[in-house]
A and B are shown apart, each in its own frame.
Chain A
């Protein structure tokens, strides 16, 4: 099985695990889901990246992760504003 396919499967299993636990907890929080997705994709990107080779899909993955980090920053900023204005 190719590394790329393994990464996709691992990420999907991670997301299913998150949703499973959220369903068991009785609530779905999209913000938490997003943050956990970001953590998952960061870990997978680090594990799949090769020291000598740099496949094309890793380049696109980097852009996706960078966008995710920015969205994460926005979520944190909104939370800070909410807490400070309470």
Chain B
């Protein structure tokens, strides 16, 4: 009954384990609210509802803050508090990220909000560049004071030209900031947002531009009056053609050196105050440099040339046009070698070659192929079995190109092809197969060894030399041990004499001597470990079936009341104890069973 209950319990538990595994094994990731964002086919209606309810409550104050943020930064720049302006810019960036996330999470498609978001991004870029440029101008002011005192005309010219470059840039930023005004005001009016702060920021921006222009005029005045450039006999001219270009276009910057010794001379070209190249003049003193537009931000840039670090050319400007890109990803194909992804990247004017495109699987970059001359790209990627979200993304903030993202495809990789797909990505790897094969072979050997392993031999502690290998007690096997009868007799006589000596005065101790003797003798005859640890009844159970069992039981029957019960036995009982003792001793010796 007890065993059957255990069986039923074990069966129920086994079924529970198997059912639990099989229920969860196809979709091992369990649902919880934090998995909502990436768990397929899971939605959290409660969470969505709470987001939807306070959509307007969250968005409008945030938009209002975003409108006011540039004003604070511009005001701090105007008053020269660059550290505070930097901190405010960081706050502006965080606010901008908040609105981006909010718009994405709420899946807002209203044109006003989308327009506002785009214009805010533009404002952030303008303010960020304004802060960088004004910080650099502050540094230039410090340098100007130092080099003016040292009367270093080369450095003063360099500072003045860099200042001019920055002035151009800030003027350009101001124009862009003003161009934002009208559409932003229009959107703000429709959304009932207060634009007073933003309008004020435009005025402050204008004040900054005016101040920088004045500073720059002063620099030119100082350079021309205090540091005359006509110290050398040469004159350097510069020109750019065309005056504007886009990514991968080439701008030809050329010029001529006039004066004495104009042939085969080095002319350094600076773009945005950074030394870009060194050209060699020809026999007529002409030089030129082909500048390919690559890693340079969009906007206005300046260039000037320097000869012998002392003759400076004028400053010329050229403009880099920002281009929008479009990326197309074809439906990925599952092949034996992996997942084949193909696509193309192009701008409004044509394909883009030689740029890196990122292929993303589940928002992680898995490949970054380069586009070819026709703007095409392709890659074979290895993925684990299951569903994956695949898309192609182009994003490079160092080039005058917008980022773009393809549509997302959901691809299901079959389980059978998983290993192949992973391997085929890098061609079959023989060493890894060898290592894997060795591991499998090793485990097969380990399994075989486990089945055929031999147990350590059991060693019986004891003193009897003629003990049988098997511990099972067999009557037939006991008999051969009953040898050495003379020793047995002497030990028995010795024990009996001791018994007789104290039986009159202390029968309890006397019977103890007899029992101890019998226990020792039985322990010698049978394979018993530590015979002294056996109680009378344990010993009795061990010898069941042996010839002296009945005698031993009789002995124990009288022994226990005397030994443990402190009972004083009468003469008859004493005789019985002695008789049973003698019978056991005889039978242990191998004598008459009766």
Contact = CB atoms under 8 A, between A and B. Distances in A.
Contacts of B240: none
Nearest to B472: A52
A47 interface: no
B444 interface: yes
Nearest to A72: B443
A2 B2 CA distance: 11
B32 A26 contact: yes
A8 B431 CA distance: 42
Contact of A81 (B422, B442, B444, B450): B422
A73 B439 CA distance: 6
A80 B436 contact: yes
Interface residues of B, number: 45
A39 interface: no
Contacts of B456: 51
Given A51-B458, A82-B422, A66 B439 contact: no
Nearest to A25: B30
Given A23-B30, A26-B29, A69-B443, A16 B436 contact: no
A82 B471 CA distance: 54
A28 B458 contact: no
B50 interface: no
Listed residue (B14, B447, B471) with the most chain A CB atoms within 10 angstroms of its CB: B447
Interface string A28-59: 11100100000000000000010110100000
Given A67-B447, A84-B432, A19 B14 contact: no
A8 B10 contact: yes
B570 to A, nearest CB: 46
Secondary structure class of chain A's binding surface, majority of residues: helix
A62 B3 contact: no
Chain A, interface size category, equals 35 or more
A5 B3 contact: yes
Contacts of B426: 85
B458 A16 contact: no
Contacts of B16: 16
Given A81-B423, A82-B422, A85-B422, A16 B432 contact: no
Given A81-B419, A85-B432, A12 B14 contact: yes
Contacts of A12: 10, 13-14, 17
A83 B479 CA distance: 68
Interface string A1-21: 110010011001101100100
Interface string B105-125: 000000000000000000000
Contacts of A8: 10
A27 B21 CA distance: 11
A28 B423 contact: no
Interface in B441-477: 442-444, 446-448, 450-451, 455-456, 458, 471
A66 B17 contact: no
Contact of A28 (B3, B25, B450): B25
A24 to B, nearest CB: 10
Contacts of A85: 382, 422-423, 425-426, 429, 432
A33 B436 CA distance: 21
Given A12-B17, A81-B422, A85-B432, A28 B440 contact: no
A70 B21 contact: no
B6 A16 contact: no
A41 B450 CA distance: 13
B20 to A, nearest CB: 6
* Residue with the greatest number of chain A CB neighbours at <10 A, chosen from B35, B446, B471: B446
A56 B3 CA distance: 19
B437 interface: yes
Nearest to B438: A77
B24 interface: yes
A66 B450 contact: yes
Given A16-B17, A30-B25, A51-B458, A81 B433 contact: yes
Q: Which 7 A-B pairs have the closest CB atoms?
A: A73-B443, A66-B447, A77-B436, A84-B432, A69-B447, A12-B13, A28-B28
26 contacts: A5-B10, A9-B13, A12-B10, A13-B13, A23-B30, A28-B21, A30-B21, A30-B25, A49-B455, A65-B447, A65-B450, A66-B450, A67-B447, A69-B446, A69-B450, A74-B443, A76-B439, A77-B439, A80-B436, A80-B439, A81-B423, A81-B436, A84-B429, A84-B432, A85-B382, A85-B425
Interface of A: 1-2, 5, 8-9, 12-13, 15-16, 19, 23, 26-30, 33, 49, 51-52, 54, 62-63, 65-67, 69-70, 72-74, 76-78, 80-82, 84-86
Interface of B: 2-3, 6, 9-10, 13-14, 16-17, 20-21, 24-25, 28-30, 32, 35, 382, 419, 422-423, 425-426, 429, 431-433, 435-437, 439-440, 442-444, 446-448, 450-451, 455-456, 458, 471
